Amino acid sequence: MDFLTLIQVLDSTVRLATPLLLACLAGLFSERAGIFDIGLEGKMLAAAFFSAAFAATTGSAWIGLLAGIGASMMLSGLHGLASITFRGNQLISGVAINFLASGMTVLIAQSWFRQGGRTPSLTGDARFTSIDLPFADAVRDIPFVGPIYSDLLSGHSILVYLAFLAVPATYWLLYSTRFGLRLRAVGENPAAVDTAGISVIGMRFAAVAICGILCGIAGAYLSTALQAGFVKEMTAGRGFIALAALIFAKWRPWYAMMACLLFGFLQAVSLRYQNIQIGEFTIPVQLMDALPYILTVVILAGFVGKAIPPRAGGEPYVKER
C-alpha cells in the first residue's frame, strides 16, 4: 500500500467512523448516568429517515438535521419515560425502540414518498457538502504534509468536524464541570446524589436528552452527508457496533474515539479491498465485509480485558422515604 492509497483509506476511515463516534458518545452520556441504552440503533435509524425526508421536502439539510434530532429525542424521551419514570427494564425498552424505528421508518417512507420505503435522492442544499480548510489547495503539492492536510484533514462535512470536536467537549463536560461530576455520580451511587439534594431523575433525563441529540446528529449524517437519502435499515448495525466500541473504550471519551476509528478502519479496508491475496490463499469478500462485526463479537465476548460499567447502570432508582 503506497502513501496516497493509505491517505485514501484513512480518509474513508474518518468518514465511516463519524456516525459510530457520535453514537458511542451518546451511549457514554446515557450509561455514565446509569441508563443502559441499546436503542442507539433505533434512534439513529429514525433520525436518518426524518432528516432525509425533511431535507428532501424542504431542500435544506439544516432543517433535516433538526428534524432528525427531534425524532431521536422523542425516542429518547420514550426510553426515559419507560426506564426512569416507570422503572421498566432498560434493555427491553431499548429493544422495543429498535423494533419501533425499524418498522416505523419504512411504513412512513412508503406512505410519504411511495418509493419502496426510501426517500428521494438528495441533491444541492439538501445535503451537507464538504468543507475545504484554509490553504488546502496551496499546500496540496507539498510532499507528505500536503496530502495529510488537503486530502485527509480537509474536505469533510461540518458534521464530521463536529463529531471529533465533541470528544474533547465531552471529556471537559464529564471531568471538569459540576454537571459532569454529578452525572458520573448518578451512575455510580444515585442514593448519595439524592442525599446531597440533587435530582437523580433530572440528571438521568438530562443524560438521555444529550444521548438523543448525538444520535440525531449521527443519523442525519448517515442520510444527508455520508449518503444521499434514506434506505431501509441503513444504519446496518452501527448502533450495536457503537455499544461495543463503548465497552472497548471502558466508557472514556478519548478511548471511544480510538475504538470508533478502529471500527471505521476495518470498514474502510473491507470496502476498498474486496479480495486480499495472501500467498496462494484469497480472503473472500464476505469475510472482509464481516470484519467489523467479528470484532464486535470478540469485544463483547470479553477478550479485551475486564470492562466495569457504572455500578448503578441498568438499575432503576427508588427514592428512599
Which helix (DSSP H) or strand (DSSP E) does residue 208 occupy?
helix 200-221
Residue 291 has pLDDT above 80, yes or no: no
Question: What is residue 321's predicted lDDT score, i.e. its pLDDT?
Answer: 58
Greater model confidence, 74 or 274: 74
Is 125 strand, coil or helix?
helix
Provide mean pLDDT across the span 175-186: 94
130: which DSSP letter?
E
- With beta carbons less than 8 A apart as the criterion, state whether 308 and 252 touch: no
pLDDT digit string (tens) for 1-53?
Answer: 578 888 998 999 999 999 999 999 999 999 999 999 999 999 999 999 999 99
3-state helix, strand, coil in the chain (%, to 5): 70, 5, 30
Cell readout for 147 is 496530502
Question: What is residue 225's predicted lDDT score, i.e. its pLDDT?
Answer: 95
| 3-class secondary structure per residue, 248-315 | HCCCCHHHHHHHHHHHHHHHHHHHHCCCEEECCEEECHHHHHHHHHHHHHHHHCCCCCCCCCCCCCCC
- Sequence spans of domains, the chain: 21-236
Provide mean pLDDT across the span 259-270: 88
Provide mean pLDDT across the span 134-142: 84
CA–CA distance, 320 with 290 (Å, rounded to integer):
48
Residue 159 has pLDDT above 70, yes or no: yes
Of 84, 55, 5, 11, the C-alpha closest to 219 is 55
